[in-house]
Amino acid sequence: MRSLIIAGIMAISAPAVAQEFPTTPAEHYEVGQTFASCAGFFTYGAEVARSAGLEDSAMAIEGMERGWSLAGMFILVDGLDPSRQTETEETFGNMKLIKVEQLRAQREMGRATGNDDPQAWIAAYQAECGPWLDLQKAIIQAMRSAPNN
């Protein structure tokens, strides 16, 4: 089943994807870490939206976070030692939390210095995650179209 999904990803994404599907365990781990960071932007965005009373926006943002998380865990599992693969969700969650804490600290410092610029976060997301968006979408699409067995 997993190999069918990967084959689907390769078929969907070639040649339009800016980034290639990782092939080595080290690449899987690195890309999984990047996807966790991308998910962290949305986790924090939902937190900010919720604190502003924007519940519908928070729910929509959480949906985008789930896409990055699902695709990221799919990639990350192959970057972990087989003895740790059952801990993929926890490992990914810890990686994502690092980005969330970083964003909280940046916002706190920005507010303290009067330099709280949400546009800077958007630019940071686009720079870090933009090149991976096509691959993330291809993974989700392949997972949705994979046979159910």
Span 28-79, pLDDT tens digits: 999 999 999 999 999 999 999 999 999 999 999 999 999 999 999 999 988 8
> Which residue type is seen at 105?
A
Residue 115: pLDDT band (50, 70, 90) is: confident
Q: Report the pLDDT value the prediction gives residue 7, as an integer from 0 to 100.
A: 41
pLDDT of residue 149: 59
Q: Where are the domains of the chain?
A: 26-131
**pLDDT score, position 19:** 77
> The whole model's pTM is what?
0.84
The closest of 36, 148, 58, 45 to 104, measured between CA atoms, is 45
What is the structure's pLDDT at 15?
A: 43
| Distance of alpha carbon 51 from alpha carbon 116, whole angstroms | 16
